[in-house]
Structure 1
Amino acid sequence: MAKSRNNLLGVGGQRKKLSRAEQQGAGSARGADRKVAEGKKQELVRKMRERAEAQAATTAAGPGEQDAQPAQS
């Protein structure tokens, strides 16, 4: 038998405490923050894709141009 049978802290999950505004039906600021973060993430992904496409286009456009550069050692 477990020694800490009466200690059920953390069993079954915990409810988050609601602010007064959330209790009265106003939306939480957390939801708005998540939307802003999602927008920033989408913008970052879009920029990264554009950079990758531009880099792929430059390397595919001129493989002979890379030979013209002096070799560094």
Structure 2
Amino acid sequence: MAKSRNNLLGVGGQRKKLSRAEQQAAGPSRNADRQTAEEKKQELVRKMRERAQASAASSDDSADQDAPAQS
């Protein structure tokens, strides 16, 4: 008769003990992801501000050029 395969206790090694934060997917890797996301957001905001300033400056320049012609 074949051996019983129901008793697999201890097979496959030991698991690392997870902290509560890591169990809730809030471990160190999540903090790193959060920082990366924050950096991307800051970069996006910076680009948007630069574009807004550039478009405001170009519209101001065109308004200044049009103003003397009307006087």
Give distance in 1, aligned partners of 2:48 and 2:26: 35
Give 5+ residue unaligned stretches, structure 2.
1-20
Using the size of structure 1 for normalisation, the TM-score is: 0.53
Aligned residues: 48
Counting helix residues as a fraction of each chain, which structure ranks higher? 2
RMSD: 2.5
Give distance in 2, aligned partners of 1:29 and 1:59: 45
2:36 aligned to which of 32, 36, 44? 32
Give distance in 1, aligned partners of 2:53 and 2:26: 43
Using the size of structure 2 for normalisation, the TM-score is: 0.55
1:21–1:27 Cα contact (<8 Å) kept: yes
Distance 1:61 1:20, change over 3 A: closer
1:52 aligned to which of 56, 61, 70? 56
Give 5+ residue unaligned stretches, structure 1.
1-16, 68-73
Give distance in 2, aligned partners of 1:27 and 1:35: 12
Give the letter aligned to residue 41 of structure 1: V
Residue identity (%): 4
Deviation at 1:28, TM superposition (A): 1.8
Give distance in 2, aligned partners of 1:43 and 1:59: 24
